Amino acid sequence: MLTQEKKQFIEFMMSADVLRFGDFVTKSGRNTPYFINTGNYKTGLQSSKLGEFYASCIQNTVGDHFDAMFGPAYKGIPLATSAAGALARNHGIDKPFFFNRKEAKDHGGDAGLLLGSKIKDGDRVVIIEDVTTSGKSIEETFPIIQAQGNVEIKGLMVSLNRMERGKGDKSALEEIQETYGFPANAIVTMDEVIEHLYNKPCQGKVVIDDAMKEKIDAYYAQYGAVK
């Protein structure tokens, strides 16, 4: 359902030049007519607002039934940080967060692979990512967490569900849920983005006109998940 909050998030992505339409190549090698780059969030106000959208998604899906948030390096680090702040500020849910280095540090008081909150057996963890196209990122992330202790993953939170096939006919988020046994949630879906932007002005222009809609439809004819 395209709620007012989802409309606001779509326009927020557009205003920050995070959601773009054109010709791009995803990490999984697919030629796509649109692209999400959360690295374009670069101001304090944008970071604060982004955290509020993630916090709302977490509160609506997991609530306070978890112990820590994990932000995979590199883009997940500021996402988890801003989400943690917004959860405490707006929802009264004060939870620790942690993240990983790309390479483990073998000296000093902070040696190891993880930084931030320490996790222990039995902890319930929420993973904060930017976007998942084919599920490759979670294949890298999940073992990192599992190697640190016997923890339970309560859910994956991403900004956009691209609604594309993963390795089979289902969406990457559905495959993650089936493979790993935890729910995967998104602030908005690509269907909702199209519904809100198709032949409607946003930031003073129409970004999904008939020509772009044809490109998107052709892309989903090739890569779209079975609904």
Other beta carbons within 10 Å of 63: 11
d(CA 36, CA 18): 6
Catalytic pick from 105, 118, 120, 200?
A: 105
Residue with tokens 């729910």: 183
Is residue 21 within 8 A of residue 212, CB to CB? The reply is yes
The DSSP result for 22-76, as a single string, is EEEE-TTS-EEEEEE-GGG--SHHHHHHHHHHHHHHHHHHTTT--SEEEE-TTTH
β-strand 97-105 against 112-116: which pairing, if any? antiparallel
114 pairs with which residues across the strands? Answer: 100
Closest CA to 154 of 123, 120, 114: 123
Is there a catalytic annotation at residue 196?
A: no
Catalytic pick from 102, 107, 205, 227?
A: 107
3-class DSSP state of 138: helix
Is there a catalytic annotation at residue 105?
A: yes
d(CA 125, CA 119): 9
Residue with tokens 């790993």: 180
Q: Which residues are catalytic?
A: 105, 107
